[in-house]
Amino acid sequence: MEEYEVVYTKSDKVVLDIGLKDEDGIIGRWSDYCKHTPRYSTKGHWHHSGIFISKRRWEKISLNTPTDEICYILGIPYYVKKKEKKNYMKQLLDTYRRLRRKDG
């Protein structure tokens, strides 16, 4: 069975939407109310998750399931952590300061 990559869009706070990228575009989350395969445009900024699953598994996981639960099931962080970004910048500044002290 062929597997495809899970992709998602996000804001600066959370994952907004999630889908499965196949050869025809991006398959959205399944719903009992949808009578056809839900599709998204590949336009926009979709992030690669590095997680590959089959279309059958995607349908089972995403059927009537909100984005945050799908993220939890697949191990994709739903919330964007601001602290990590600040810590990264702090580490970068600390490294810069240490290098300046060594040079001076």
Chain segment 63-81, per-residue pLDDT in tens = 999 999 999 999 999 998 7
For residues 56 and 3, give the distance between their C-alpha atoms in angstroms, rounded to a whole number. Answer: 9
3-state class percentages of the chain: helix first, strand second, coil last, to nearest 5: 35, 30, 35
For residues 2 and 80, give the distance between their C-alpha atoms in angstroms, rounded to a whole number. Answer: 30
Single pTM value for the model: 0.72
For residues 92 and 43, give the distance between their C-alpha atoms in angstroms, rounded to a whole number. Answer: 34
Chain segment 4-46, per-residue pLDDT in tens = 999 999 998 999 999 999 998 999 998 888 777 788 877 778 9
Residue of 13, 10, 40 lying closest to 24 (CA atoms): 40
